[in-house]
Structure formats: C-alpha cells, structure tokens
Structure 1
Amino acid sequence: MKNLLIAFLALFISSSLCAQDVIVTTSDQTISCKITNLEKDYIQFVYLKDGVYESTLIQRSEVKSFKQGFDPTIKIPKDSLPGYIDASGIRLAISGGLSYDPGRIEGVTPENFYKDLRSGYHIEIGGIYFFDRTIGVGLKYNLFKSSNSFDNVSFDNPDGEQVTGRLENKITASFIGATLATRFLGKNTKTAFFINSSFGLLHFKNEQVLVDNYEVNAKTFGTSVDLGYDVQVAKQFYMGLQLGITGGRIKKFDFESPDGTETVELPNGQRFIGNPRLDFSLGVRYTL
C-alpha cells in the first residue's frame, strides 16, 4: 500500500509538470524554457521572467541550436503553457447496461439453464475528483444481477432418489472500491477518454431453488477496470459509453441449506457464473 501511494503521488506530480527545454541563440545566449510550437520560421516557447511565466517566440534565424527535454530534473508547470485549461473538479456518473460472462461453462446440467445465467444486467454509480486534466481518484459501486428458472426438472437428490421440481438461480454480485482514474481530454474538453482502475470488496450471492431453498455467499478482494468515452451534450452534462471487466478470486463460500450453514472450499479450476464478467454500459455524467 505504501508503494502504491508513492507511485500515485509521483504520477500526479509528473502529470502537472513538463521537462525543461533549452534554446541557444546565435549570440550564445542560453534560454531555459518549454517549447510549445515549432514552425519553419520561428519557435514559440514559455519561459520564466521576473518570477512570471511568459509566452513568446524567436525567429529561426536567431537560433543556433535547441534541445527538448534538456534537463528532466527541472520542471515547468503545465498551467503556465498557452491554451492550458484547468480541468480539475468532480465527475459524477451513473451507468447501466448488459453484462456477460465470456468464460466456459462445463460439466453442469441442464447446460442451457446455466448458459442463460451468463447474461444479465448491471447498474453503476461513481464519483471521481480530478486534480488536473489527467489524474483523479474516487469511488464506484457496481451491482450485477442475473436469473433463470426451469419447472419440472428431474434430478437425483443426495439420497440417490430421483425427484422432480423447480430449478431456479438468482445471482447478485456487488462491488465497491476506490478508483484511480486516468483521463485524456479532447479539444476544448468536449470529449474525454478514460481508463479507470478500481480495487475493493466483491460480494457474490446465489439464491438457489432445487426443490428446497439454498443460498451461496462469498466475499473477496475484487478489481474492476473500465474503458470509457464521454461526449458533452450540454453544459456540465456528458453522455458516455463504457466497457468494463469486474471480478475477484473466490476460494471459499458459505453454503446455506435446510440442514444449516457450512463453509465450503471452492475446488481448483472452478468458479462462479458471473465472476469475472464484462459490462457494456451507457450512462450520464455530470461535472462540478
């Protein structure tokens, strides 16, 4: 956790700074600056003058040489660059859509019943505070549901007797976690591409009916990664598309039956339907 915090702070600091460039004039004057535009006839740059960053240009005929990234240890704040837009603030989002488990389902009967459980729906809410145009932190909550049922299903009970009854599964998976967001803003901040990584708690529940009622519960560390694209539709409002994957490694679960509750180890190579899964979302975003 300590190393993760140090890495995040380093990423945040580096995202708000630019490596220093240098220009040497024909009169052997050295200018420490940040080059912002290279043209055939001139070079535009930002430099520190009397404690204030100013933007100016120099004719190519007056330049002896120049080097970008000359001294990475000396940084110039990005907010001193021409055209810089302060995009810090809060992004609130609500999304929803279809979910799908792309993993293979083998050795279950009836097979079609469990295949249908792989598809479901989800809703998601979240908030992110952006320190600048690029880096932000926040929280998200995601809820997934899937269900299916068959009547008049024949199967063998634990005593070896064949019985006929109702087969039903109601799957619920909830995830809540902290988010580290990376944002790439388009021109004039009207569009944005996101890569969000979240780490937190995953709770999986399966309410089953196999003549009698059963319930499976499991909690584990979970992760979620989202790729998203937002487009501004009105002042402070955006519409967004998002693709995400959410899951966690479940090693054991609580199994509740008419005979009581017991903790069961999940066999190696087996997993629960819906973990992990893909989420395809459409949502609304509001910025403060």
Structure 2
Amino acid sequence: MLGMWLSGALSAQDMIITSYDDTIACKITKMGRDFVSFNYVHRGKVRKTILRRDQVRFYRNNYYVTPVGPARSVILPDLNPHWRLAVKAGISYDPTKPPGSLQHELYVHDEKLKLGQHVETDLSWFWSEYFGVGIVFNRFWTRNSMDNVHVRWPNGSVQTGTVSDDITTDYAGLGLSIRTLDLKRSSSSYYQFGFGQFRYRDDAILINPFTVTGITSGFHLITGYDFAMSSDYAIEVQFSEVFGTLKEVKIAADLSSQTVILSKSEYHYLTRFDFSLGIRFLK
C-alpha cells in the first residue's frame, strides 16, 4: 500500500512553506478556510496532519514533478509516536482550608501540611495523531510535627504533648489523552482527564499515636508541555489537579481499630495542585 501511494499519489508532490520557513514535500488533501490538510511520508510511513492557514506562508501544487523520496519527503520530525512514558517529580499544594473550629495551634499545624512533594509516572498509547488513552500513578507526601501543644478535649480537659501528621496519598487513574504539536518542532502540548482511586494514610500523633486510612474515588486533570531534546525523549513541564473526598476512614490505635463514617462537616478533601518537572520518553 505504501509503495502504491509513493509511486502514485506522490508522483507529483505539493510544497508547503510554513511561517517558520520549514519546507514540506507532501500531498495536500484539503485547502480549507482555516486549515490545510495534507499527507506526508516519515520513516517510510504515510502520515496525515493539518496546519492552520496562518501557519502556511506559501504553497504550490505539483511542485515536485519527480518524487523526492520518503527519506526527504518531509522536514517535520516524528514527534507523535504511539507510546509516551513520563517520569516526573515536583511540589504539591492543598488549596482546602482547615476547619475554622480548630484550636489556633492545630490550625497552624494543618496549614503547614498544605505544601508537600510528589512523584508521578504516566504511560499513554495514541491510536491517532491527537487522541489516546493513558494511565497515571502519583504518590504525594507531606509531614509536620509540633511539640508542647496544648490540646483541649471536648470534655474540657487539656493535655500538653506532640501533634504530628505523616501523610501519604497514592492515586492511580485512567484517562483520555490529547496532544498537539508545535510547528517549531521543539515542543508539544499534552492533556489528560480521567478518573481513578485514592489510597490515603496518615501516621498521626495527637498526644497519643494512631493511624488513619481510607480509600475513595476521584478524578484528575493534566496539562503538560514537552520540549523535545531528540526524537527519543523530551523535557516536560506539567501542571495537574486531583480531586477526591474521604467520607469514611478507618482509625487504628493500640491494638484496636474502628471504621468511622464522617459527617459532611468532617469530610476530608484530597484536592491538590501539582507542579512537576520530568522526562518523557517517546517511542
């Protein structure tokens, strides 16, 4: 099929010169008011793509009477492989506010838990130039500890001791992936939105030690920007959001544990903003 396409459809190739002065040997399939659609050959494979009209400085039909051959038929590199694997890390921020009813010292402690760190990996498979499916795994952690804190209990008694939280949240999700390619060939945009599951754990101390765990569903939004270093990998800058709400937790202390269904005012929100820097491998 490829040989027939090269010998037939490309027997007289068209030429496009982009606004970045890239020259593309191709076959224009549609010249619309806003977009130009065309086919080109890269690494022996026929590919289809589009350009905005303002990205096309000049074009001419049947410019190449003799095919220039697949190796030189297009200058654009293949920045749209089927597989994309990324590994990244960064800082995280929790925008939710602690309950206003907290004692001042506990409120200050909770505020210091808002900033944390995370590591993340995601794998996407694209069935077309623009659309695919992806999986993502993210681990977030934050911790803070304060000594000599005065804790007032509901019965009015007061105790002084340590308050500490060591929180870890794992999120695994599945989503729809979308990408666009920058004509400068140095970057591409990447988006994903989907749903998944949170696993929450807090090794805490409130005078006495205890552990809080919980599982809940959630969803995520990802916006990434890749700066291609070569045809095999890119440097990625990413901003993402995850959303979830814990409505039921398991509390373990000493040798006993109990499941607690939280009231609406006690819900624990897992909303978080992540800022990441990493490497994306292309295949």
2:109 to 113, 116, 119: 113
Report the TM-score, using the length of structure 1 for normalisation: 0.69
List 4+ stretches of structure 1 deviating above 6 A: 43-46
Tell me the number of residue pairs that the alignment of Structure 1 and Structure 2 aligns.
222
Q: Is the 8 A contact 1:141 1:175 kept in 2?
A: yes
Distance of aligned partners of 1:123 and 1:45 in 2 relative to their CA distance in 1, 3 Å threshold? closer
Q: Given the alignment of the two structures, is residue 244 of structure 1 paired with residue 240 of structure 2, yes or no?
A: yes
Which whole-Å CA distance do the structure 1 matches of 2:208 and 2:30 have between them? 73
Q: Is the 8 A contact 1:44 1:57 kept in 2?
A: no
Secondary structure, aligned partner of 1:112: helix
Shift in Å at residue 190 of structure 1? 3.2
Deviations 1:47-67 (A, max 9, x none): xxxxxxxxx849xxxxxxxxx
Q: Is the 8 A contact 1:167 1:210 kept in 2?
A: yes
Which whole-Å CA distance do the structure 2 matches of 1:185 and 1:99 have between them? 28
Percent same amino acid at aligned positions? 26
Q: Given the alignment of the two structures, is residue 100 of structure 1 paired with residue 96 of structure 2, yes or no?
A: no
Q: Is the 8 A contact 1:88 1:131 kept in 2?
A: no
Which whole-Å CA distance do the structure 1 matches of 2:207 and 2:238 have between them? 39
Residue equivalent to 1:177: 173
Tell me whether 224-233 or 186-195 shows the greater mean CA deviation.
186-195
Secondary structure, aligned partner of 1:235: coil
Instruction: Map residues 136-147 of structure 1 onto 2, 5 A cutoff.
Output: 136-147=132-143
Deviations 1:34-83 (A, max 9, x none): 42377xxxx9988xxxxxxxxx849xxxxxxxxxxxxxxxxxxxxxxx96
State the AA in 2 paired with 1:131: W
Unaligned runs of 5+ residues in structure 1 are: 1-32, 47-55, 59-81
Instruction: Map residues 43-82 of structure 1 onto 2, 5 A cutoff.
Output: 57=61
Which whole-Å CA distance do the structure 1 matches of 2:253 and 2:37 have between them? 74
Shift in Å at residue 172 of structure 1? 0.9
Shift in Å at residue 94 of structure 1? 0.7
Which whole-Å CA distance do the structure 1 matches of 2:129 and 2:184 have between them? 11
Unaligned runs of 5+ residues in structure 2 are: 1-27, 40-59, 63-72
Which whole-Å CA distance do the structure 2 matches of 1:155 and 1:44 have between them? 68
Q: Is the 8 A contact 2:81 2:282 kept in 1?
A: no
Report the TM-score, using the length of structure 2 for normalisation: 0.70
Shift in Å at residue 265 of structure 1? 1.6
